[in-house]
A and B are shown apart, each in its own frame.
Chain A
Amino acid sequence: MNVRFDKIENKIKELLASYLESSGHPELEKHGEITGATNLVSDFTLDSFQVMEFLMEMEEAFDIMIDMNNLSNAHTVNELAKVVASLLKK
């Protein structure tokens, strides 16, 4: 993993933490620190519309367009970061 990838992953962690806070999801305290292995779907009670809302914030932060179909295999922060990295490369 190179420095750039770590940066992407860290940014996603930050975005997720702030999204959870702003959308009133108290599980963050229970869950503890967000790591690369944090599962976006099952570690929090985000419904599909909240996931979309969070992805939009990611799109804006990275200035990319995320195709939902690319994300059908992404469960964790780390997997999400890989998708973002590949989009930024293009």
Chain B
Amino acid sequence: MMVSDNNSEQKNRHLTQNLMHPTPINTALRVKTDGFINLVDALEYAAKGDSGFNFYDHRGDLDSVLSYRDLRNEAKALARRLLGLGCKPGDRVGIIAETDPLFHRFFFACQYAGLIPLALPAGIQLGAHKAYVGQIRRMLDSSGATIAVAPASHIAFLEEVTDDLDLLMSGIPEDFDALPDKEVELVSPAAEDIAYLQYTSGSTRFPRGVEINHETVLNNIREIATHAMKLTNEDRFVSWLPYYHDMGLIGFILVPLIAQLSVDYLPSRTFAMRPRLWLKLISDNRGTISSSPTFGYALCARRLRPSDYERYDLTSWRVACVGAEQVNPVPLKAFAQALAPCGFDEKAFVACYGMAECVLAISFAPLNLGLSVDYVDQDVMTSTGEAVPINPSATNVASYADCGLLLPGFEISIRDDQGRQVGERQCGEIYLKGPSVMSGYFQDEEATLAILDEDGWLDTGDIGYRVVDRIFITARSKDVIIIKGRNIWPNDMEVVAQRVEGVRLGGVAAFSISGFGDEELAILVVETRERDLDQRNRLAHEITKLMHEHFGINVIIDLVKPGTLPRTSSGKLSRFQSREAFLKRQKTPALHLPGTVEIDRKIA
């Protein structure tokens, strides 16, 4: 690994900064994605070439380079150290997933040593110290990790939690590098061994770790690389996506590695502050593949300056995937129009659909066609669930992006609420089966049985319809709220909100509604007996603050009287009916107490 910081040992070992160059595109090796039994095999093959990972800093300058060859050597040495320390095969290793070579080194050391890595969040919100530490603690605790590693920037947070967890060792990478390199034999993992855990939640009490084995991850990646993206030697990946999300971890670490292609990374935080550096990196390095949820394109478009149009050359960008949240064509169109003078071709947009429970991807739109949108009658959709085509200029139109064709390994079944298969253009719940589906949630039989039946059908929770072989998603998960690429479980929000004094226990419902433009809005309906105006204000204020600290999102808070929230006959709160009732209330202007929302300006 080459580094430009003040790590003198590594600096001496390698070239200095002014001689540092990013790894080239893969000119040395035939692109090969099949025949690998595990991730170790795939890295061993990639290590024969010259390609690898490149890390850019907050100014957009090259900071360090980790070729696949160096990664192989460093990961093997680290694997021996971890086993020498006393780690046993199958032990979990928590890695704070900052955009830093340490993540790749530890992730692959785990593969060589037969350990199971899990990526821990690295993004911290303003004033969210406590919430962040709690999240890390719950994920380490739930996975039963024995090792935890953090970059120097995050070690203080990690140290706060490791005292009362029973870990073999925790520290910064240098602490692990200082361990003795013992003569330990490294045993190649079996196809059915767990390759990694992907935590899909962790904000409150119920973190769930998606468990993916080598065979499963390699299957999905092979289908993405060959079938969906049609990767060649000429391809180069560029990404700012965090490694603790499936799109960053699978899409921009493992997919390029398994296809022996180079990747250029920008820290996620840098993208959030200076999104235009994303375009600069693609332009400078002739990137061909770079993806984002809709909001990333929107954020970038909002920050463009007129001088940018001469500065960037985006003609090389051939695949711009859009996924992770509902694909929204309006801001994407604006992005494409703004950057057309730089050579961005809107045909590069590829809508896709996926989830961590299926490694990453389920369906991809065909390449070089851009977004395709289906316009349907909203009224019919709401009343019967049928997607009837309608004139795009009609007033009651709803539009859904074509999320393309299933990857070849999947079987799909779209079912009504009685479990019967529905016909074409009829909305239903999406069930999937195939070799990319997870084996289950880690050490959580109850959660696994709730989503995966004995025949291997995965209940995605997503709602959608089919037109011939194309898939359209009309609602992401009956449960998950997705805002700016972040998956938030309503249950997590409800639990956090109930900590505020004056909120009725069990009297909170969280859901999302479509807002103005590209925004999904999170709504919290909160039951309270409080009538005092100041107290109502305080309540709303405290809940807002907690939502920011825990989830980094804005929430619209609707304070209502106890007994307002609809419940099922068994007394369970119905989020769906709460949402319907909320929307109805918004249409009937009532007395507006503080903490009671007026959201007309925000609803489209």
Query: Contacts A48-B125, A48-B552, A67-B153 given: A55-B132 contact, CB under 8 Å?
Result: no
Q: Chain B's nearest CB lies how many Å from the CB of A12?
A: 13
With A and B bound together, what is the CA distance between A52 and B126 in angstroms? 9
* A-binding segment of B192-200, B268-276, B360-368: B268-276
Is the CB–CB distance between B127 and A72 below 8 Å?
yes
Is the CB–CB distance between B552 and A47 below 8 Å?
yes
With A and B bound together, what is the CA distance between A73 and B131 in angstroms? 11
* B541 proximity list for chain A (CB < 8 A): 42
B74 at the interface (CB under 8 A from A): no
Is the CB–CB distance between A47 and B545 below 8 Å?
no
B548 at the interface (CB under 8 A from A): yes
Q: Chain A's nearest CB lies how many Å from the CB of B150?
A: 10
A35 at the interface (CB under 8 A from B): no
* A46 proximity list for chain B (CB < 8 A): 554
With A and B bound together, what is the CA distance between A53 and B270 in angstroms? 10
Is the CB–CB distance between B545 and A39 below 8 Å?
yes
Is the CB–CB distance between B272 and A69 below 8 Å?
no
The tally of residues in B whose CB lies under 8 Å from a CB in A reads 30
Is the CB–CB distance between A72 and B269 below 8 Å?
no
Q: Chain B's nearest CB lies how many Å from the CB of A15?
A: 14
With A and B bound together, what is the CA distance between A48 and B132 in angstroms? 14
* A71 proximity list for chain B (CB < 8 A): 124, 126-127
* A75 proximity list for chain B (CB < 8 A): 126-127
With A and B bound together, what is the CA distance between A53 and B128 in angstroms? 17
Is the CB–CB distance between B272 and A49 below 8 Å?
yes
Q: Among A40, A53, A74, find the residue whose CB has the most chain B CB atoms closer than 10 A.
A: A53
Is the CB–CB distance between B272 and A53 below 8 Å?
yes
A87 at the interface (CB under 8 A from B): no
Is the CB–CB distance between A65 and B58 below 8 Å?
yes
Is the CB–CB distance between B157 and A69 below 8 Å?
yes
A68 at the interface (CB under 8 A from B): yes
Nearest residue (CB) in A for B486 is A48
Residue from A56, A59, A74 within 8 A of B126 (CB atoms) = A74
With A and B bound together, what is the CA distance between A65 and B552 in angstroms? 22
B475 at the interface (CB under 8 A from A): no
B338 at the interface (CB under 8 A from A): no
B333 at the interface (CB under 8 A from A): no
With A and B bound together, what is the CA distance between A41 and B274 in angstroms? 21
Is the CB–CB distance between B126 and A69 below 8 Å?
no
Query: Contacts A42-B548, A47-B484, A72-B128 given: A56-B153 contact, CB under 8 Å?
Result: no
With A and B bound together, what is the CA distance between A31 and B552 in angstroms? 21
Is the CB–CB distance between B129 and A73 below 8 Å?
yes
With A and B bound together, what is the CA distance between A53 and B269 in angstroms? 10
8 Å CB contacts to B: which residues of A23-71?
39-42, 45-49, 51-53, 55-56, 59, 65, 67-69, 71
With A and B bound together, what is the CA distance between A42 and B295 in angstroms? 22
8 Å CB contacts to A: which residues of B121-145?
123-129, 132
Q: Chain B's nearest CB lies how many Å from the CB of A36?
A: 15
Is the CB–CB distance between A69 and B552 below 8 Å?
no
Q: Chain B's nearest CB lies how many Å from the CB of A17?
A: 18
Nearest residue (CB) in B for A75 is B127
Residue from A47, A67, A68 within 8 A of B554 (CB atoms) = A47
With A and B bound together, what is the CA distance between A42 and B299 in angstroms? 22
Is the CB–CB distance between A52 and B269 below 8 Å?
yes
* B484 proximity list for chain A (CB < 8 A): 47-49
Nearest residue (CB) in A for B133 is A72
- 5 shortest interchain CB distances as A-B pairs: A48-B552, A42-B545, A72-B129, A75-B127, A52-B272
**Additional A-B contact list (12), CB under 8 Å, known A53-B273, A56-B274:** A40-B127, A41-B125, A42-B542, A42-B544, A42-B545, A48-B125, A48-B126, A48-B484, A49-B299, A68-B123, A68-B126, A72-B157
28 residue pairs A–B, Cβ–Cβ below 8 Å: A39-B127, A41-B125, A41-B548, A41-B549, A42-B541, A45-B544, A46-B554, A47-B553, A47-B554, A48-B123, A48-B125, A48-B272, A48-B548, A48-B553, A49-B272, A49-B299, A53-B303, A55-B126, A56-B274, A69-B153, A69-B154, A69-B156, A71-B124, A71-B127, A72-B127, A72-B128, A72-B129, A73-B127
